[in-house]
Amino acid sequence: MPRLTPLQWSLFAVLLLFYGFTVFALTRDYYLRHPPRPLAASQTAGQGAPPPPSSQPTFIQREVAGMGEPAVPLTSQDPEQLNDAGDQLFGQKRYTEAIPYYRRALELDPAAVDASNDLGLALYYSGQSAVALEILRTGAERAPDFQRIWLTLGFVSAGAGDQAGARAALDKARALGPDNAIGQEAKRQLDRLSGG
Q: How confident is residue 131, by pLDDT bands cut at 50, 70 and 90? A: very high
Residue 26 has pLDDT above 80, yes or no: no
Residue 152 has pLDDT above 70, yes or no: yes
Question: For the segment 42-73, what is each residue's pLDDT rounded down to a tens digit?
Answer: 444 444 445 555 545 554 444 444 456 777 88
CATH architecture of 49-193: Alpha Horseshoe (1.25)
Q: Which residue ranges make up each domain of the chain?
A: 1-34, 49-193
Predicted TM-score of the model (pTM): 0.65
- Of all residues in the chain, the percent with pLDDT exceeding 90 is 58
Least confident of 20-34, 38-52, 98-112, 123-137: 38-52
Nearest CA-CA partner of 91 in 112, 109, 115, 64: 64
CA angle, corner 24, sides to 22 and 28, nearest 5? 120
Measured distance CA(186)–CA(110) in Å, rounded: 26
Q: Which residues contact 72 (CB under 8 A, 6 or more apart)?
A: 78, 81, 82, 84, 85, 101
Chain centre distance of CA 15: 41
Do 170 and 190 form a contact (C-beta atoms < 8 A)? yes
Q: What amino acid is encoded at 81 in this protein?
A: Q
Measured distance CA(53)–CA(143) in Å, rounded: 25
Per the prediction, the chain carries an average pLDDT of: 82
Question: For the segment 74-126, what is each residue's pLDDT rounded down to a tens digit?
Answer: 888 999 999 999 999 999 999 999 999 999 999 999 999 999 999 999 999 99
Measured distance CA(182)–CA(39) in Å, rounded: 29
When comparing pLDDT for 112 and 196, which is higher? 112
Q: How confident is residue 19, by pLDDT bands cut at 50, 70 and 90? A: confident
Residue 9 has pLDDT above 90, yes or no: no
In the 3-class helix/strand/coil scheme, how is the chain assigned residue by residue?
CCCCCHHHHHHHHHHHHHHHHHHHHHHHHHHHHCCCCCCCHHHHCCCCCCCCCCCCCCHHHHHHCCCCCCCCCCCCCCHHHHHHHHHHHHHCCCHHHHHHHHHHHHHHCCCCHHHHHHHHHHHHHCCCHHHHHHHHHHHHHHCCCCHHHHHHHHHHHHHCCCHHHHHHHHHHHHHCCCCCHHHHHHHHHHHHHCCC
